[in-house]
Structure 1
Amino acid sequence: MALHQMFAARAAEHPGRISVTEGDRAHSYADLDRASDRVTHNLWAAGARPGDNIGLYADRGFDFVAGMLGILKFGAVYVPMDPRLPAARIEHVAVDAGITHAVTADDVPVDDLLRSGLKILRAGEEGDLSAGAFEPPPADPSALAYIIYTSGSTGTPKGVPIEHRQVISLFEGAAGLYGFDADDVWTQFHSVGFDFSVWEIWGALLFGGRLVIVPRGMTRSPGEFRRLLADERVTVLSQTPSAFRQLVAADARMPAADHRLRLVVFGGERLDFGILRPWLERYGDATPQLVNMYGITETCVHVTHRTVRTADLDDTVGSPIGCPLPGVEVYLLDEDGAEVPTGTPGGIFVGGTGVGRGYLGQPRLTAERFVRRNVSGTDVLLYDSGDRAVRTPDGELLFLGRSDDQLSVLGHRIEPQEVEICLAAHPWVRAAVVFSKDHGEGDVRLTAHLVLAPEAERERALAEVGEHVAARLPEHLRPVDCAVVDELLLTPQGKVDRAAHAAAELPGVPEVPVTAGNGVDAVAAVVADVLRREVKDRDLDLFDIGVTSLAFVRIIAAVNARFGTELTGSELQTVASISQLAACVDEHLART
C-alpha cells in the first residue's frame, strides 16, 4: 500500500474521528478526505500529471495536510516550500525540482510563486468540474512521496527524495516498539521543511490519531506550549533537545502538568541527558517514556532508538543513541570501509529500508554519500552519514559527533559552506567563516566572522550583508552574530580553523548602556545584552537576522526580568521586532 491508501483506510473506518485540530477548528477524517480529493481533482484540471513534482507552498496547518494528501492521491510528489523562505530560495527549489504547479494555503500570499512562473492552486478552492473525473494511477509503494531540501556544501540546497515504502517501513517498525494507535494525539511542532514534520504528520494519520497544529508563535513560547499539551491531551510529542530544554524550564515554573504524554521523542541534534534531570525528577521515566532517536533526512527521519532512564543521569557517558529501528542497519566503518571492532570509533553508515535514492539531479554527490560496501561478505547500499560513533560491549551506539564541518543548530543540519558562499558573494566581503557558538542553556547560534574589503565602512557593510543574506537564505541559515576580523585563522595545514574562531571572543561587540525607565531604547538595550550585538533597526523582525527560537525565549525572559512583565512571546504574532516588543511591555505595564 501507499501512504494515501493507508490514510484512506483510516478515513473509511472512522470518518467522524477528528484528524486535525487547528486552534478552535477541528477537522474530521471525512473533512480531510474530501479536502484532499478537491486538490487531486484541481491538479488534474490544471494540467498537472501523475509523477510530477508539485510544490506545496504552505505553513503547518490543515491546508498543508490536505494539499499533501491530495498530491499523493494524484500520484505525484509533494515538495514542501515554506512561505517564509526568501524568493530566491523558492525559485531555486522550483527550478531544481522541475516544479510547474504549486498547491498553496488559502491565506498565503503567492507573489513569489507567480514570479517563479508557477501555476497556483489554492488548497480550499472547489475548482473546475468540467475536466471530468480523474482516474488515479495504480498506487506504487516504491514511488516517490516527497522531496525535502537540505543545506548543501556547494552553496545551494540539495533535494532528498523519499519513497512511500520508506515512510511506511519507519512507522511499521516504530509502531511495534511504541504501540501507536487511534487514541494517540500528536503535535506538529516543526516546520514543514524539516523532516521531523514527516514523523509528526504521518504518525497521526497512519494510525487514525489526531494531529494538533502548533501555531508558529507558540513554538517560541514554552509556557504557552506546555499549556497546549495539557489542554489538547497530547500523547506523543516530538522535540529537538534544545526546544525540550526550554519546555522543561517552563514546566518547572508551573504546577505539575495534568498531561497525557506517554511518549516524548528526541531527534535532530545531540541529546545531553543531563538537561532531562528536572523533568525526570518530577515525572519519573515511565510516563511519559523518553526516547532518543538519531536520524538523517537521507535515511527517512529516524535510524536508531534509545529509551532514557533516570539511572542514565548518573551513569551515562557521551550521548547514547541506542540500537537501529526494525528494518534499519547501522555499520561503523573505518576509512577503508572495514567494520571497526567494539570500542573503536568509526563512521556511521546506514543501510536497510530507510535509505533514500540519493540527491535529486546530483549524481556526483549521490555517488559520494550513497555507497556500496561489502560488509560481512554481502554487498549493500549504505548512506555515509558523516557522523561518528562507537559501539559499547552491550551493543549500544554512542554518538561522537561529525567527521566533517557540518553543523547542527536547533535540529537543522547546516553545511557552513553554503552560508559562507552566500556571504562571500557580497562585493564587500573578501572572506567568511561560519561556525556555531553555544551561548548557554542550549542557545546555539550560527555565527560568522567576515574579512571586509579595505574600502568597506563597517556598520554599513554589516547592514548590507545582513540584507543580502536575508534575501537568499532561510531563517535557520542566517548568522545571528556577524563580526568583522582582520584575517581568518588557519590550521597548520593552511585550512580555515573553525574551532579557533568558535573559541575566540566576538570582536567588536558593542557596549550597550542600560537605559533607565521603559520604552524602545530600554528594550533595545535588553535585546543587545542577550544577543551581544546592537540591533539598530527597531522595526526589524529579529528572526530575519537569524535569531533562533531559543535566543528569542531568552530575550523574553530578560525583558520580563527587567520590566517585571509576564510576557510569553506569543503576543508577537506577526513581527518580532524591538518596537513591537516595547509596545507589548507598555501595554502590560498599563494593565498592572
Structure 2
Amino acid sequence: MTRDAGGTDRFVPADAPTEVRPVWAAFRSQVVRTPETTALIIGGISLTYRELDQASAGLAQLLWQHGLRPGRVVCVRTQQSALSVIAMLAALRTGSTWAVLEPDLPVGRFEALCRDTDCAVVLSEGDDAVPASVLSAMPAPPAVVDAAGLDPARLVEAGRELPTDPYPPVPEQSPAYVAYTSGSTGVPKGVMVGRDQFAASIGCRGPVYGTERSVFLIALRLSFDGILGGMFWSLTGGHTLVLPDPRQLVQVGQFTRLAREHRVTHLFNIPSYYRAVLQDPGGLPDTLRMVVVGGEECTPGMVAAHHERLPGVRFVNEYGPTETTIACTVETDPDPTGDRIPIGRPWPGTRALVLDERLREVPAGQRGELYVGGSLVALGYANQPALTAGRFVADPYGRPGGRLYRTGDITSVDERGTLHYHGRTDDQAKIRGARIELGEIASVLESHPGVAQAVVLCERAGQDEPQVIAFVLPTPGSGPPDASKLREHCRGRLVEQATPSLFVPVDPIPLDRSTKADRAALRRLIPAGRQASPGTAGGDWSGHRLAVGRIWAEVLGHSGSGPDDNFFAVGGSSMKVIDLHDRLDKRWPEALRVGELFDHVTIAAQARRIADHLGERAHGEEPAPPATYEL
C-alpha cells in the first residue's frame, strides 16, 4: 500500500510478481496446517479442510477410474453445490482440467467443449443429465458419471481410506481449467488457463484482501471465472469460503441472510447484483471489512451508495477479461466524486499497455486499446489457433517470445498510472457479469425461419445497465415475427443476459456508405417512449395482470413482455427494479417489498402477490414457485 496526495491508502503493485506457489500445493499446506478449520460452506453443507481434501481424493479416484488423466477434461455439469467445488479440486489433484458448465447453460457450450478438448468425463445429475441425442452424435462421447449418489459425506469416507495419491506430477504450464464465453460467429470459445497463470492470479491478492482470518462470500456461479479469485484465495490461505446455492444466489434476501448468518468479512459481487444487495432491508453484517466488485463497469453512483450504506467498509474494483486469468487490474478505495470509476493498476507481474492502431503507446490522457502482458495472459482458445493468433499477439515491448492479449477495450491512463475504461472496440458487451457477443445473438436470430437478417445493438440509458436490442428483417413473404416467439427461440441457445429485451422489425436494414448496417440509423428507429399497453405478447391478461403489464411497459420502455416472462430477460435491471417498485407501490401500497421483486419476477407472479395482499383470489392463477434473478 501507499498513501496518495489526498491521504488515501492505495494499492500500488510491485514491478515483479510476488512469490507464486502452485494452487494445489498451497491448498494441501492448509490441510496440514489447519485441518479442522471450516473450509467450505454451501447448501447447508460444511466441510473442514481435512474433509474437503478427503472428499476430493475420493472423487478423484472415481473420475480416474472413468478415464480422467492429465491433459483430459472433466465437465462439471451440476447445480452449484459442494460437489462442484470438490470436482474442481479433484481435477487439480489429478493434474487434469476442469470446465464448469451448469445444466441451464446452452447445450451448445457442452458440445463445443467436447469438440475443442479431450473431454473424458461429464459429472451430471438426474434430470439435468446430458441429452442422449447429444452424446449419440459424438464419435467418442465422454463417460457420464451420475452425481446423484455422490454425497460429500460418502466421498469423505472414501477418501479417508485411500493411500497416498498415485497421480503423476504435471508441469505447471498444463491447463487448470477451460472457461467458455460467447463467440462472435455464434460458436462459443473456450479460454484455456494454465496452472501457473492461475497460481499467479491467486498469489497477487494477499496485499489487497488482507492477511486476517476471513470469511469470503461470493455472489457468482461457478461457470463464471470471476469467482475463482476469492474462492481460491480463501482455500489456499486457510480462510472460510461461503457460496450460495442456486436458490440463495437468485434471491437477494436469502443471499444477504446468508452473509449475516456466517458473519462474512469479504463479499464479491458483480456491480448490478451489488446494487440489489444494497437495497435489501435486512442489510449486511457488521463483520464486513471489504466489498469487491468485478465483471462489468462500476459507476460512481454505486460506489457512493456503498459508502452511504456501509461507511468504513473498503471497496475494491477489479477488471479483467477471462483471457487475463480472472482479473488483471485492481483499484482500491475508488473516489465516487469523479466522472468514472477507474479500473486501476495491473496486478504484480502484469503489464498493461494502451496502444494505438500501430501498436504505439499513446500519451497519458489519450484513448487507445488496452493490451495486457505478463504472467496472467492465458494459454489461448481451445482448438481455435486462428482466433488465438488474432487475439494473443507478439509483445513488441517485452522479452522475446512474450505475448500480449488484445482486450478490445478502449482505455486511457492518467498521469498517476491509473487506467480508465471507455467502452469496447468491437461487438462485445457485459451484462450482469456475462460477456456476450452481439454477433452470436444475431447468428441465433437468423437461424429462426421468420428472420432473414438480424442486427443487434447494446444500448445504455444513462447509468442504467445495457439493453440488448435486436433489429430483425422478416423473411420474404412473412410478416414481422412475434417477439415472444423470437425470445423463446433464443432460450436454450443464448445465456439469459444475451436474450434481446426488444425486437424492432425493420424492412429494409439501413446501410451506410460502406454497405454495412447503419447502426446510427438503426438507433434512430428505436421507438421513443415505448410505453404501449401489453397485448402484443400472448398469454392470459386477466385479473391484475393487465395493470401490472402496463407498469412494466412504462419501466422497460417496450410492450413485448408476456405474463410469464422474466423481468431481467426482457430488459429489466437492478436499477429498474427500484423504478418498478415505486410505481407498483403507488398503485398498491405495501403490496410488494422491493426485495420480493427479485423473487417474483413475472407479471403473473406480481399480480398474484397483489391479489393476495388485497385478499382477492386471482382468477385462474395457480400457485407457482418464485422466479429468479438470472446471473
Report the TM-score, using the length of structure 2 for normalisation: 0.83
- The answer as to 2:88 corresponding to 1:68 is yes
Q: What is the match of residue 275 of structure 2? A: 245
Aligned 8 A contact 1:409 1:436 in 2: no
Q: What is the match of residue 120 of structure 1? A: 144
Q: C-alpha distance in 1, partners of 2:559/2:308?
A: 39
- The answer as to 2:349 corresponding to 1:313 is no
- How far residue 528 of structure 1 moved from its aligned partner, in angstroms, is 3.8
Aligned-partner residue type, residue 591 of structure 2: T
Aligned-partner residue type, residue 149 of structure 1: Y
Q: What is the match of residue 293 of structure 2? A: 266
Aligned-partner residue type, residue 433 of structure 2: G
Aligned counterparts, 1:538-557, within 5 A: 538-540=563-565
| Superimposed CA distance per residue, residues 268-317 of structure 1 (whole angstroms, 9 cap, x where no aligned partner) | 22222233223323444xx32112222110010111111235xx333x24
Aligned-partner residue type, residue 22 of structure 1: I
Q: C-alpha distance in 2, partners of 1:370/1:281?
A: 42
Q: 1:270 to 1:516 in 2, by over 3 A?
A: closer
- SS of structure 2 residue aligned to 1:293: strand
- SS of structure 1 residue aligned to 2:207: helix
Q: C-alpha distance in 2, partners of 1:580/1:567?
A: 13
- How far residue 420 of structure 1 moved from its aligned partner, in angstroms, is 0.7
- How far residue 544 of structure 1 moved from its aligned partner, in angstroms, is 6.3
1:101 paired residue among 113, 116, 121: 121
- SS of structure 1 residue aligned to 2:119: coil
Aligned-partner residue type, residue 143 of structure 2: K
Q: C-alpha distance in 2, partners of 1:433/1:63?
A: 41
Q: C-alpha distance in 1, partners of 2:486/2:286?
A: 46
Q: What is the match of residue 197 of structure 2? A: 166
- SS of structure 1 residue aligned to 2:395: strand
- How far residue 168 of structure 1 moved from its aligned partner, in angstroms, is 1.5
Aligned counterparts, 1:2-401, within 5 A: 2-104=22-124, 109-112=128-131, 115-116=134-135, 117-123=141-147, 124=150, 135-181=166-212, 183-248=213-278, 250=279, 257-284=284-311, 287-309=312-334, 312-314=335-337, 316-375=338-397, 380-401=402-423
- How far residue 377 of structure 1 moved from its aligned partner, in angstroms, is 8.0
- How far residue 332 of structure 1 moved from its aligned partner, in angstroms, is 1.5
Aligned 8 A contact 2:216 2:240 in 1: yes
Between 1:323-332 and 1:373-382, the stretch displaced more is 373-382
- How far residue 161 of structure 1 moved from its aligned partner, in angstroms, is 0.4
Q: 1:41 to 1:499 in 2, by over 3 A?
A: farther
Q: What is the match of residue 480 of structure 2? A: 458
Aligned 8 A contact 1:243 1:550 in 2: no
Q: C-alpha distance in 1, partners of 2:126/2:578?
A: 28
- The answer as to 2:496 corresponding to 1:475 is yes
Q: C-alpha distance in 1, partners of 2:399/2:562?
A: 62
Aligned counterparts, 1:419-434, within 5 A: 419-434=441-456
Aligned 8 A contact 2:317 2:331 in 1: yes
Q: 1:494 to 1:570 in 2, by over 3 A?
A: same
Aligned 8 A contact 2:534 2:561 in 1: no
- How far residue 543 of structure 1 moved from its aligned partner, in angstroms, is 5.9
- How far residue 35 of structure 1 moved from its aligned partner, in angstroms, is 2.0
Between 1:83-92 and 1:579-588, the stretch displaced more is 579-588
Q: C-alpha distance in 1, partners of 2:30/2:262?
A: 21
Q: What is the match of residue 407 of structure 1? A: 429
Q: C-alpha distance in 2, partners of 1:199/1:280?
A: 24
Q: What is the match of residue 469 of structure 2? A: 447
Q: 1:6 to 1:550 in 2, by over 3 A?
A: farther
Aligned 8 A contact 2:265 2:288 in 1: yes
- How far residue 351 of structure 1 moved from its aligned partner, in angstroms, is 0.6
Aligned-partner residue type, residue 403 of structure 1: T
Corresponding pairs, count: 578
Between 1:465-474 and 1:371-380, the stretch displaced more is 371-380
Q: C-alpha distance in 2, partners of 1:545/1:447?
A: 10
| Superimposed CA distance per residue, residues 60-96 of structure 1 (whole angstroms, 9 cap, x where no aligned partner) | 2211101111122122100111211133443233333
Q: C-alpha distance in 2, partners of 1:585/1:391?
A: 51
- How far residue 173 of structure 1 moved from its aligned partner, in angstroms, is 1.6
CA RMSD of aligned residues (A): 3.3
Q: C-alpha distance in 2, partners of 1:320/1:487?
A: 41
- SS of structure 2 residue aligned to 1:73: helix
Report the TM-score, using the length of structure 1 for normalisation: 0.88
Q: 1:5 to 1:148 in 2, by over 3 A?
A: same
Between 1:237-246 and 1:499-508, the stretch displaced more is 499-508
Q: C-alpha distance in 2, partners of 1:454/1:118?
A: 43
- How far residue 477 of structure 1 moved from its aligned partner, in angstroms, is 1.8
Q: C-alpha distance in 2, partners of 1:531/1:218?
A: 26
Q: 1:28 to 1:192 in 2, by over 3 A?
A: same
- How far residue 44 of structure 1 moved from its aligned partner, in angstroms, is 1.7
| Superimposed CA distance per residue, residues 400-446 of structure 1 (whole angstroms, 9 cap, x where no aligned partner) | 22222222212222221111111112222121111223356633222
| Superimposed CA distance per residue, residues 179-222 of structure 1 (whole angstroms, 9 cap, x where no aligned partner) | 245x2111231122211111232122111212222244444444
Q: 1:406 to 1:86 in 2, by over 3 A?
A: closer
Q: C-alpha distance in 1, partners of 2:582/2:53?
A: 42
Q: C-alpha distance in 2, partners of 1:226/1:547?
A: 21
Give aligned-pair identity as a percent: 29
Aligned-partner residue type, residue 290 of structure 1: F
Aligned 8 A contact 2:175 2:192 in 1: yes
Q: C-alpha distance in 1, partners of 2:120/2:174?
A: 19
Q: C-alpha distance in 2, partners of 1:589/1:63?
A: 44
Aligned-partner residue type, residue 565 of structure 1: A
